[in-house]
Amino acid sequence: MNLKIISDDTFRILDKNMKSYTDSYINDIRTTLTKKFNQGEISKKDYEEQYKLETKKIINNRNEINKKIYEDLANRKYDKEDFVNSERELKTMGLHRVIDLTGIETIVKNVQDKKKLEQFSGQKIKGNPDVVLVDMYFGIHLHNLLRLSRSEASRTELWNSLALNPSIVKYLKYRSELWRTEPPKLKKNYFFTYGISDFVVGNHLARPWWATELSRNGKDYTSSIDAFLQTEIFIMRWNNMDLMHNKLWALTIIDFFSKTKFSVAMREVRLHFRRAMNDYAASGKFNIDFSNNINIDHEKFKEWQDDKYDGTKIEGPKDFSVSQSLIKEKSKILKDIAKLTQDTRGNTFIE
């Protein structure tokens, strides 16, 4: 089963349909009700009655719209004309390589299996699995299945075509509803990509793929696992930084966060250490410490692309490798900076 790239005209129709669905969500006025009650404008009884009624209305509305969205994506019939059939056009987009999707069904099944997630992440799961672990499992396996180059992964057409696969629609439903007590208000960019920010922030398919790509150390996905464990704050905010394009620095910051004992809450570090890193990157010293010139073996990468996905052996391309000793050495530099950095309350990151 190979991925077919959807034509621009068909995508426009899908996008318009999706927009008409998301536009028909009713406004959630419950915050206004609470405000009115707190200000004494309505009685407790009225507030509770109206709140209950409003909740029912919202749930019904969202159930109805979400059902339509999922069904529309999963059941829509496509014919040949809905896809790009011209080799020339596919080459123009850089999407002419055959992308085999065999195995996607198993990945979608396994990602919903708590035992598989525990085994893969090494984390104990109580209740629903954390979205971080779901993204980790899905992102790394998707990376291994699709075997995309960065150039291919930079095409919105690729991700928008992938979103139409029935197994992927099932995954998107699962991912969007995870941890939700009420049906979620779905956003267009959960399903489709429109620009760069959707790749690393908004989209449920592209984001975990790019998080994996930006954090892998050649064939080794261990650093990607560590990156996902740094929670969505790291995945969404740090991956947005140009600094993450520097492989040596990216691997070092992941290692530094994973192995260092900070004297302030980890959340504070993830939120505020970026500023210190930006200042450091602007200094002349950064150019020397983290020279961004890792050689990539493109032949090795192509060999990996030609190999088939094997769910029992998850290994990335052997296109480069940064030694653990170098990462350790560079981590010390970041440690020295952290010793001089304070959080918003004036506490030093490392005492």
Partner 1 sequence: MTNFIYKPYKDNKKIRVELLKVDNRNATGSEKEIVYGRELNQLDFDELISVDLRKLKYDSIELLITSEVETNLDVEHAILRFNSKWTNYSSERQVSKESVSDEVSIFKTNFSINKIDISGKCELRIDFLDSNNAIKSQTKIFFIQSDTRIPPDLSDGMFKFTPQKYTKDGNPNSELSGDWWKEVENMGGINELFALKFNKPEEPIEIVYNSSFPGNIKKEKGLESEEITVNRLLRFLMGYGPFLIECIRSKNKIVELIDGDYDMDIFSNSERKDELVELGNDINQKLKQLKPFEKQKIMAISQLLFPDMKNENEGSVVHMLKIDDKTEFENIMQKATIAYQKSLVKFSERIDNDVESIRKKIRPTSPEVSNDELLDNSTSAEERE
Chain contacts with partner 1 (rule: CB under 8 A)? 7-9, 12, 15-16, 23, 27, 29, 32, 89, 92-94, 149-155, 194-196, 199-200, 210, 213-214, 242, 244-246, 283-285, 287-288, 291-293, 296, 298, 301
The answer to whether 111 and 138 have CB atoms below 8 angstroms apart is yes
Q: Which two tokens stand for residue 90?
A: 């596919």
CA distance between the termini of the chain: 55
The structure tokens 């596919």 sit at 90
Smallest distance, partner 1 to C-beta of residue 212, A:
12
Nearer to partner 1, 82 or 152 (CB): 152
Smallest distance, partner 1 to C-beta of residue 149, A:
4
The dihedral through the CA atoms of 100, 219, 237, 112 has a sign that is positive
Q: What phi, psi does 205 have (nearest 5°)?
A: -100, -50
Smallest distance, partner 1 to C-beta of residue 287, A:
6
Nearer to partner 1, 153 or 233 (CB): 153
Nearer to partner 1, 31 or 75 (CB): 31
Smallest distance, partner 1 to C-beta of residue 200, A:
7
Smallest distance, partner 1 to C-beta of residue 207, A:
12
Nearer to partner 1, 23 or 351 (CB): 23
Nearer to partner 1, 275 or 298 (CB): 298
CB atoms closer than 10 angstroms to residue 179: 11
Q: Which two tokens stand for residue 44?
A: 């407790």
Nearer to partner 1, 144 or 246 (CB): 246
Q: Which two tokens stand for residue 202?
A: 């908004």
Smallest distance, partner 1 to C-beta of residue 27, A:
6
| C-alpha closest to that of 87 among 98, 102, 79 | 98
CA–CA distance, 18 with 192 (Å, rounded to integer): 10
The answer to whether 47 and 33 have CB atoms below 8 angstroms apart is yes
